[in-house]
């Protein structure tokens, strides 16, 4: 065998060894479906588990193994891990609506904490060693400083944030007692859609500001409301760090690569480090759509913090993450394009 051919085969074998089979929970949902696309684009093998409480089959690419079920079903998780030889997990499945968590906290503790605990236990039993967990900036609650770094006190203002924080603790303590390694990513406000138009938000009723605003912009809803105009912010409305879903998923891919190379467990914020108010967002949506929005003011919603902006230094330094879509106009444009696609072809 020539040296050139041997080198080529060695390079091929190295590339193949780097391919992973990744179990994506909630892979038929908004963020999880983008993860599935990124894994396919990178040559990995995604496997999906989704109970379709909020997921959509149209977001599942053809040929990707799909299991209908709950992550709390330990027998099902064991079957998937064994039959597909799972190398790593990206855990997105969760209930995520803050106001609903206030009115129905038990739903959130059961689905987000109890089922995640069962899922982690099943993964440990199956010998899974790499775990990327979708957490939230809601664990921080109201803070006196901005941007918020990972060392800030965790003081959730709502059951959603509490349920996620408890899951973080379960994952951390489980990893200390086993050979499981993890990356916990605390999301700030995720928005936008796949720039190629392959996936986006389909949630009904919509609960995210940009999703609601682009629906209003194309006439899917007659009007919309701004919840709270008396916050201690420059224009009185809440300020959030909006991160493009594709940049968020790039952080997950970087986390998987980091763990694959033997990186130690870590926790990192996912955001850009600057925020936009509700009124800022509505102005951008109106500008991109080329028409004004019908907006009325409403009282504050329970559980909403005034300002949530990320310090993402750790994500950039530890995982080498660099955003590509750090522009509110880009985020809104992609969200609006996705909404128009689905308005034309139906749901």
Peptide bond into 147 cis (omega under 30): yes
Pairwise CA distance, residues 315 & 124, whole Å: 26
Tally of CA atoms within 13 A in the half-sphere of 251 that contains its CB: 34
Q: Of 160, 231, 272, 325, which one is the catalytic site residue?
A: 160
* Interstrand relation of 130-136 and 242-244 (parallel, antiparallel or unpaired): unpaired
What are the helix and strand counts (H, E) for the chain? 12, 14
Cis peptide before 260 (omega within 30 of 0): no
Whole-angstrom Cα Rg for the chain: 20
Q: Rounded distance, CA 176 to CA 180, Å?
A: 8
Helix, strand, or coil (residue 131) = strand
Instruction: Answer yes or no: are the C-beta atoms of 250 and 38 closer than 8 Å.
Output: yes
Helix, strand or coil, per DSSP, at residue 168? helix
In 10 A of CB 186, how many CB atoms? Answer: 26
Residue 40 and residue 17 in contact, taking contact as beta carbons nearer than 8 Å: no
Total count of residues recorded for the chain: 347
Count CA atoms within 13 Å of residue 22 on its CB side.
35
* 160 assigned to active site: yes
Q: Locate tokens 């919309």: which residue?
A: 224
Q: What is residue 148's DSSP assignment?
A: B
Catalytic (active-site) positions = 160
């Amino acid at each position: 065998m020539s040296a050139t051919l041997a080198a080529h085969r060695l390079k091929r074998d190295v590339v193949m060894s780097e391919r992973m089979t990744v179990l994506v929970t909630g892979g038929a949902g908004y963020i999880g479906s983008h993860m599935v696309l990124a894994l396919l684009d990178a040559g990995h093998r995604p496997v999906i588990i989704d109970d379709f409480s909020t997921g959509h089959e149209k977001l599942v690419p053809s040929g990707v193994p799909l299991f209908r079920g709950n992550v709390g079903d330990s027998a099902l998780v064991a079957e998937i891990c064994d039959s597909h030889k799972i190398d790593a997990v990206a855990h997105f499945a969760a209930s995520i609506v803050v106001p609903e968590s206030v009115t129905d906290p038990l739903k959130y503790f059961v689905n987000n904490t109890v089922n995640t605990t069962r899922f982690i236990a099943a993964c440990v039993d199956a010998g899974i060693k790499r775990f990327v967990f979708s957490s939230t900036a809601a664990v921080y609650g109201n803070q006196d400083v901005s941007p918020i770094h990972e060392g800030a006190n965790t003081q959730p203002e709502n059951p959603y944030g509490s349920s996620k924080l408890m899951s973080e603790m379960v994952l951390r303590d489980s990893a200390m007692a086993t050979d499981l390694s993890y990356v916990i990513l605390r999301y700030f406000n995720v928005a936008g859609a796949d720039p190629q138009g392959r996936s986006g938000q389909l949630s009904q009723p919509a609960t995210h500001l940009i999703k609601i605003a682009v629906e209003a912009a194309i006439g899917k809803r007659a009007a919309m409301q701004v919840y709270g105009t008396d916050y201690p912010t420059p224009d009185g409305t809440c300020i959030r760090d909006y991160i493009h879903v594709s940049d968020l998923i790039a952080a997950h891919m970087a986390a998987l690569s980091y763990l694959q190379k033997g990186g130690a467990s870590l926790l990192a914020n996912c955001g850009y480090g600057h925020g936009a108010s509700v009124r800022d967002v509505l102005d951008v949506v109106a500008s991109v759509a080329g028409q004004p929005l019908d907006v009325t003011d409403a009282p504050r919603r329970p559980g909403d913090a005034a300002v949530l902006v990320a310090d993402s230094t750790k994500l950039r330094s530890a995982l080498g993450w660099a955003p590509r879509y750090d522009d509110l106009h880009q985020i809104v444009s992609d969200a609006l394009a996705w909404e128009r696609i689905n308005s034309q072809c139906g749901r």
